[in-house]
């Protein structure tokens, strides 16, 4: 009987993992809205009931993926920060938040947030997940600032959402311009936010600016 319980537990865990992996692939490839419950369950070979039993629908599945992804990012940041020796190492640990992001899932995440705004209950769950991640991220950001010996002009509680907003904005630009060096731009933005004494980046040379349109005669 004990063996049967273990076997059933293994099957349940495997089904959950298969649903997560299928959901991640489909959300990455087609986005949140275009991914249907039927597509996810057909990919795994289970019934709709199985998906709702494990995640209460595709919304719950996406939230589970977001939690999994966020935890992995924070753990990577923590490992990098813990192993950092130089100032550059500490910055690189933070920059991993954008350097190793799954762009397809990141874009699906922005789409998911837009959808969640139409569902107060879902929006509350999403906000709670973000708040939970922010608590851990704030601790890491404080450690990073202390390691770098910098005192940002902004409170860390305000600085963190700005850093996240830069990352999300770069994800959108990356979708339009795959060649965009998001890691370099994120590094510039974070460095400027962490150290307000950094010299202002030179303006674009006049010759490189877009020429003004001639007025119509």
Is there a domain that residue 29 lies in? no
* pLDDT surpassing 80 at residue 200: no
pLDDT-based confidence at residue 9 (cuts at 50, 70, 90)? confident
* pLDDT surpassing 80 at residue 1: no
Number of domains the chain is built from = 1
User: Do residues 46 and 19 touch, judged by C-beta distance below 8 A?
Assistant: yes
Containing domain of residue 106, as a range? 58-196
* pLDDT surpassing 60 at residue 203: no
Is there a domain that residue 26 lies in? no
Is there a domain that residue 16 lies in? no
Is there a domain that residue 39 lies in? no
Nearest to 51 by CA among 66, 61, 43, 63: 61
* pLDDT surpassing 70 at residue 201: no
Is there a domain that residue 31 lies in? no
CATH of residue 150: 1.10.357
């Amino acid at each position: 009987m004990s063996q049967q319980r273990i076997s059933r537990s293994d099957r349940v865990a495997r089904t959950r993992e298969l649903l997560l992996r299928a959901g991640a692939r489909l959300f990455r490839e087609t986005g949140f809205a275009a991914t249907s419950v039927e597509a996810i369950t057909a990919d795994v070979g289970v019934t709709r009931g199985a998906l709702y039993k494990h995640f209460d629908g595709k919304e719950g599945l996406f939230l589970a993926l977001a939690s999994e992804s966020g935890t992995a990012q924070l753990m990577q940041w923590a490992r990098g920060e813990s192993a950092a020796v130089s100032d550059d190492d500490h910055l690189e640990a933070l920059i991993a938040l954008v350097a190793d992001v799954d762009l397809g899932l990141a874009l699906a995440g922005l789409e998911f947030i837009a959808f969640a705004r139409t569902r107060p209950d879902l929006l509350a769950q999403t906000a709670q997940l973000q708040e939970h991640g922010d608590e851990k991220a704030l601790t890491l950001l404080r450690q990073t600032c202390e390691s770098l010996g910098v005192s940002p002009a902004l409170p860390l509680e305000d600085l963190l959402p700005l850093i996240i907003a830069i990352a999300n904005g770069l994800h959108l630009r990356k979708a339009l311009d795959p060649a965009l060096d998001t890691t370099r731009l994120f590094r510039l933005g974070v460095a400027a936010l962490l150290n307000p004494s950094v010299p202002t980046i030179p303006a674009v040379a006049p010759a490189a600016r877009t020429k003004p349109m001639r007025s119509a005669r």
